[in-house]
Amino acid sequence: MCRDSGILFTNIWKMYGVVWCLYMGSESGRTGRAEKGGTGSRRRVCLVRVLATLKGFYGFTLHIVLCGSILFLLTSKSRQKKQLRNDSKSKNEDKTRPET
């Protein structure tokens, strides 16, 4: 069970890393050299500005959603483990309790 949560955590962490690389790429693309040339660089600057705007509005929300989902998954796994322990304890108590 721990192995499954570890794999899930690494997959979520990789997805978060991809989003972070896109975020950093949009930051590094906003340089003076991109604004010098012709239509291609203007398109690139426009795209970078759109990405930066989206990043500003949704970046924090995405961060909260990813961190919240990681915490939820980890706590749900621990809740399942506790429930399994309680179930096994109650079964053991039923076996040892004398019939009345």
9-65 pLDDT tens trace? 667 767 776 666 666 665 555 544 444 445 556 666 666 676 666 666 666 677 777
Give 98's pLDDT tier (boundaries 50, 70, 90): low
Q: pTM above 0.85?
A: no
Please choose, from the candidates 44, 53, 45, the residue with its C-alpha nearest in 3D space to the C-alpha of residue 23.
Answer: 53
- Lookup: tokens for 25: 């790429």
How far lies 42's CA from each of 29, 30, 46, 49, 53, in Å?
12, 11, 6, 10, 16
Give 3's pLDDT tier (boundaries 50, 70, 90): low
Pairwise CA distance, residues 64 & 24, whole Å: 18
Residue 81: what are its φ and ψ, rounded to 5°? -65, -45
